[in-house]
Amino acid sequence: MLSQSERLSDDALIENVRSKSQAHLLAISTRRVLSAAVTDALIERGNDAVVKSTVNNADAEFSEFGFTRLVERAEGDDDMATCIGMRPSIPRHHYLKLIAKASATVRARLAAAYPQQANDVSAVVGEVARRARSAPEAIGRETTIAHGLVRSLYEDGRLDEQEVASFAEARKFDETNAAIACLANVSISIAEKMMVESDTEGVLILAKVSGLSWTTVRTIIDMRRDLTQVEVTDIEAARQTYERLRQSTAQQVLRFHRTQQAVPAGDG
């Protein structure tokens, strides 16, 4: 009944998740339709088997909160991390955070999951992570559309600070990241890596090269906090650092990041 009945409302399912056994939760996780509200409850209360079953349910929906909790639960669990990383609907910023935390085993599994990359998987952990991060198949349709939109704005001369701020205010990670990459003249993969770092240095460097004001930078930092749970312990210190940072210095740091990405596998 829990796995197949279409008469059960989300409220009834959530009540069952909160009060029933893990076996009942496992049955619910296999339902043909699972709303984000129900998967949130399953992720919070379910054991590993329940959560993996929920993630493997192709028709299940997940909220921003749900993906955040999934990435947290995946840390130290290779099977869980692989299941989450293989899910086509995982938002790009969560995928990047998952890759950043994943073990070498998980990174290799995710890289090997893409046929075009299978023969190129390196034993070097950093190279596997880079290829998994940049593999075309790892970029979902929505991310591809977002990147195309931003590139079009840039080529038409319509991409400016106001657009960046609007993207960040709307919590559109893909658009914000692509916009900064265009303005800073770096690849999207470099910008992504710097945007999801645990500290704010990467954001400050990209923003300074892009010529953004502190007001916009603060909006981007707030977006990162909301989407990736990266907290800034001292926002005033970040502001002071940004105002003291010279654009020439930021450009030097960015050149280093470009050089690092260009280093062939096995050279370092």
Query: Which H, E and C letters describe 78-131, residue by residue?
Result: HHHHHHHHCCCCCCHHHHHHHHHHCCHHHHHHHHHCCHHHHHHCCCCHHHHHHH
Last residue of one domain, picked from the residues 84, 119, 138: 138
Task: Give yes or no: residues 84 and 36 share one domain.
Answer: yes
Domain boundary pick from 93, 118, 138? 138
Residue 2 lies in a domain: no
Residue 3 lies in a domain: no
Containing domain of residue 186, as a range?
A: 141-262
180 and 221 co-located in one domain? yes
Count of the separate structural domains present in the chain: 2
| pLDDT tens track, the chain, 268 positions | 677 677 789 999 999 999 999 999 999 999 988 999 999 999 999 999 999 999 999 989 999 899 999 998 988 888 888 888 888 788 888 887 787 777 767 767 776 765 443 343 333 334 434 444 444 445 567 788 888 899 999 999 999 999 999 999 999 999 999 999 999 999 888 888 888 776 788 899 999 999 999 999 999 999 988 876 667 778 999 999 999 999 999 999 888 877 766 544 444 4
Chosen domain end from 78, 108, 138: 138
Instruction: Say if 1 falls within a structural domain.
Output: no
pTM reported for the whole predicted model: 0.58
pLDDT 10s digits, 222-240: 998 887 666 777 899 999 9
Are 209 and 180 spatial neighbours (Cβ–Cβ below 8 Å)? Answer: no
* Same domain flag for 127 and 29: yes
Residues 85 and 171 occupy one common structural domain: no
Say if residue 179 is in the same domain as residue 243: yes
